[in-house]
Amino acid sequence: MRIPFYKLQALGNDFIVIAREHLPEEDAVGRWATRWCHRHFGIGADGVILVTPLSPGSEADFEMRLWNADGTEAEISGNGIRCLAAYLLFTHRWQEPSLRIRTKAGVKRLERIRQDGARFEFLTDMGTPALSSEAIPMALEPARSHVIGFPIRIGECEVPITACSMGNPHCVVFVDDLAAVDVRGLGSALERHPLFPERTNVEFVRIRDRRHLEMRIWERGVGETLASGTGASAALVAAVLNGLAEREAWVHTSMGALHVQWRPDDHIVVVGSAEVIFWGEWVGE
């Protein structure tokens, strides 16, 4: 079986993009994703994106489905959707400066800001954050309208978390020293904590000042990743809810920064880049 693919990255968060017409069956991606994403025996990536064009008159121009490296399907990825937009423009499947992509977290609109060869920069409207425990979702009784500074017990410790959903669940932990954080140990424990019935993404955030945040990410179904668009959105939301940041700030990762704004209309917009790295054919079984 020969399957054409493209490999893209956004601040080191990397994805394999495959067009729907190249697959015999759509849901087979979940079975193959772990092999394709393997860093030694596959193509290597944090996730696989399947893209399908939609008919004229639809609510969106393309549909995106996303599978994590462990084979589980995710609702959305902020970096992944920019990678998909870059793929569509680079391969001339789309020509207009704006496009609409349908995800399991709703339709998202992207605007191309600039292009330099295979590197693109986009503004993405990520939609509105959901703040209630029921919407995140969290198994809290009674339900809460906001989850701010809520203590979660991990072993012998209580970890205060602020949670929200960007179409996928996020749990933010504020820290003084990112280098000292046990991202794998604490991240995996929070990801699978019983309070999160659908598991959760985890962001460890340090406040540099009110317009600059730093973060490390433990991504649900992947592990530690170099960046996250929805994670950067959640980091800003959590910082604002705790009175630690302005509603417009730079969120820094080890590979660069995303500009995030929580607008007065309640929408989160993110400006960041995406780059085509290479393309080829998968020839394995």
Q: List, for residues 126-142, the tens digit of each pLDDT value.
A: 999 999 999 999 999 99
Domains and CATH numbers, the chain: 3-123+272-282 (3.10.310.10), 147-266 (3.10.310.10)
> What pLDDT was estimated at residue 284?
73
Q: Is residue 53 predicted with pLDDT exceeding 70?
A: yes
> What pLDDT was estimated at residue 102?
97
> What pLDDT was estimated at residue 51?
97
* Exposure on the CB side of residue 227, measured as CA atoms within 13 A: 26
Q: Which band of pLDDT confidence, cut at 50, 70 and 90, is reported for residue 121? A: very high
Q: Work out the burial of residue 196: count CB atoms within 10 Å of its CB; fewer than 13 is exposed, 13-18 middle, 19 or more buried.
A: buried
171's enclosing H/E stretch is strand 169-174
Report pLDDT digits (tens) over 61-119.
999 999 999 999 999 999 999 999 999 999 999 999 999 999 999 999 999 999 999 99
Global pTM?
A: 0.94
The predicted model gives 152-159 an average pLDDT of 92
* Exposure on the CB side of residue 192, measured as CA atoms within 13 A: 8
> What pLDDT was estimated at residue 285?
66
- Residue 24 carries which DSSP code? S
Q: Is residue 37 predicted with pLDDT exceeding 90?
A: yes
Q: CA 149, CA 143: separation in Å to the nearest integer?
A: 15
